[in-house]
Structure 1
Amino acid sequence: MELLASYNEQSLIRHEIGDARFCLIVDEARDESRREQMAFVIRFVDRSGFIRERFLDIVHVKDTIAATLKEEISFVLSHHNLDVQNIRVKDMMVPVICVESGMLQLALIAAAREISDVHTFFQNLIFVINIVSASCKRNDELRAFQAATIEHLVDIGEIETGKGVNQVGSLQRPGDSRWSLHFKSICSLIKMYGATCLVLENIALDGSTYSQRGDAAFSFKLLMSFDFAFFLHIMKNVIGITDVLCQTLQQKSQDILNAMHLVTSTKTLIQKLRDDGWETLLEEVTSFCKHQDIEVPDIDAYFSSVGLSRRKTKSVTVEHHYRVDIFTAIIDQQLQELNNRFNEQAIELLKLSTALDPRNSYKLFNIEDICLLVDKFYPEDFSDQKKIHLRFQLQHYELDVDSVYLNSSCFDNNY
């Protein structure tokens, strides 16, 4: 009966939309069985001229990469006999990302984890933090070690004192679908690295069960490896750059123009990291490892490929492995995902669309931008004659808007 009602509701929604233009609001979440679900809300203007939002559908997705999401969106539209040409923003991925940053964060996480070593790193990161944060006793021990570490560094003059600085804090667990939580998790572990190692050493020696001792010993070995330290820092830098964009897109009140500028600056910073960031990163990791008594390999030596596929017979140096196979590969994956979702055409479309933003008394209203928007992105919706009329209509509209807001301002002041 519920399925029948749902089908009837969807039919009514489809009838209500008719041939109207519409936009999609798409969000992702996991159900209790941890299956990825994508929900669709459709926004349109009904026959009476009122803006409506209707819950349209919810579907299971096998993963959250861009190609899969776009395929599922196309399927849902086709299933409900909705024409993709009626989406007001024709690149389907653009409205999705502008409305909900969750998809972008999921895509960046998925893109990074396409590299198997990155996936392994995040699994190990979660494993380590779960062990250290498994009980109140371990958390208290971690905080005590961190407080002692801070006190020692202050005594020897390596860090400064002051209000609000050198707070102890705690380790943050990364989330499955939030880039920002991964960033906080990595930063917290870097800050409390020494204290974390001490807690793991204690558990490895004094744990109440063999599994606790074994897990702690394995985790301590991970933290004392150059490989883990390298991934910790490269992911901190990459996520740190992209997280600003993700946080901005997550805000309820969107400034699209500012968001598009952030897209451009994010791409620029990621590219700059790729072109010029290797030496700085290597120096940062090497300094960190020496401070934590982690052995630093000879970057000119041949990289040992123990545990890798036997088909990989090419001999490479340690530097080549970390620089090409890891550093460059991670950054290229992020750039590719950002370029797929925010290509130059999509960015221009959204920048031009800000000319229609009614906020701040239509401060961004621009006739030339609106006419260019029509010419470049909606040529089939306007005949040549309508384009000529549009420019004059916009001139009238501009004067009317100025007059309305001027009168409104005078009224408010008199009141």
Structure 2
Amino acid sequence: MTDHRKPKRYKNLLSWFTSGTPSSDSVDEIRSESGSGSRNVTENFVNDVPLNPSPSIPLEECHNERIEREESFDVKASFILEDIAIYPSHHPTFTEHGFQGWKNVMSKKSGIVYHMGVLNSPHNIAMHKWESLRNPSKHIERVISTQSSQEVTDNRLRLITTIESVRLLASQRCSFRGHDESVNSSNGGNFNAVVDSFRRMNIDIRRVLQNAPGNAKYISPIIQKQILNILGNKVRTKIREEVGDAKFYILVDEAVDVSNREQMTIILRFVDCDGFIRERFFKVLSVADTCSQTLKDDISKVLTQYDLQVENMRRQGYDGASNMRGEFNGLQALFREECPYAYYVHCFAHRLQLTLNVAAKGVHDIWEFFSTLSLIVNFVDSSAKRHSALRVIREQEIADLVAAGALETGRGANQTCTLQRAGATRWGSHLRSISNMSAPYKKSTRACEQNITNEHYYRVNTLNAVINFQLAELDSRFTDNSLELLILSATFDPRDNFRTFKCEDVCNLALRFYRHDFTSYDMLALDMECGYFLADIQKDPRFANTTTVSDLCRRLVE
């Protein structure tokens, strides 16, 4: 049975065990505490236990060795190992009974000395590990922390290089990938070219890119898309902050890309807090189909994601497709069920383009004229020699006109140009095509001119037929309420010192399209306020040179 009372001179004994050299007083105290019944250490026995070679102690047990030695001074006997299940009955002196032969503790045949062993013994290795553990500078977490900080710095530099490359290409609207991005490729794409440029300009970037591990280069296409998506989210968040609580107007269009996937674009138009009219490209979505309900669900999901309320929508701008402009099941009708003020406006420029195209094809003489014009453009474009011949004729004609004083000279004036085809979606391209044909190449066609004139035929018969056809087409395409909305909104035109401003048009606009926002009392006050507004704004010199509604909004905020 073990006596748990602390022996005398406990501090001296602890000091002796720590230093490894016991004092004479300590030995005497231990001898007196042991009494007459203590056993003497013989040549081959320690506490009647043979000094057979002890099994080697693994390193994982060495951590507890010093602790056991210090804790063992609470009793008379000293124990070395704590877990006797690992080394059963080999050294019961150290594991079961405890070492008590302190009289000959420094003898060469002592179990303690034998246990300590030579320089590379398990005991000395454990002590070395213990001293290293007591030194904070050698702790594994401190070493790992030092190495990790350098790795973090290098990883951040590699990531910053990739982010700046993605930012540059995205802002310049350039493609990222190349046809061959292998190491031996002569042209690995724009992204790899930009990264190589950063590598050549900065030594640190060159070092971290050359020494980058294979799984942490941050230049893979997946990383590029992730960074581009993060930048896109930041841009959309910034646009959302610009919108604030203001009303907005959505513009939506869809098209099929080169991979035959239907893509839908969403554009927001609004007036910011400074009074500027902003039109921001917001997002591109890939849609499964183009039915109105699918488009409406996708658009609502995007608006909800960025906390844009449908109730604040005031306009919808789409093309004239049936899934967009349908009166009952179209996209505009679905949104108007949630917000009756979200009026649908088909782009007037697009409507006019469709009307003029139909009119050009409906009158035979006009259709024949543009068909012949297209054939001439195709004939000239098919040969570089014909282009050169026409260009020489134009340059000579310009030189003659400048010498005669018929043309003014200046920077960018009188430049030669090539023929241009008439586009199917922009009527202005028809005018440019005719101008490019008539102006530069008059001299080359003079030999084909006839002496008779067709002025009466083209000015009277053909022109009147075209005008009648266009009027009928315009009446059929501009029949909805959007035309009335446009006419009433034109009263805010600030040109000529608000010459077209009419108080009754403002009241009709509020009563016709925004009646739920105005009570009967508000309508009476609105008529009076419009009169004060017109009188004050015409006298204010800050609005004297205002020409657009955008300028008017900005100056009202100022």
User: What's the TM-score, normalizing by structure 1?
Assistant: 0.44
Q: Which structure has the higher relative contact order (CA within 8 Å, separation 6+)?
A: 1
Query: Normalization by structure 2: what TM-score?
Result: 0.35
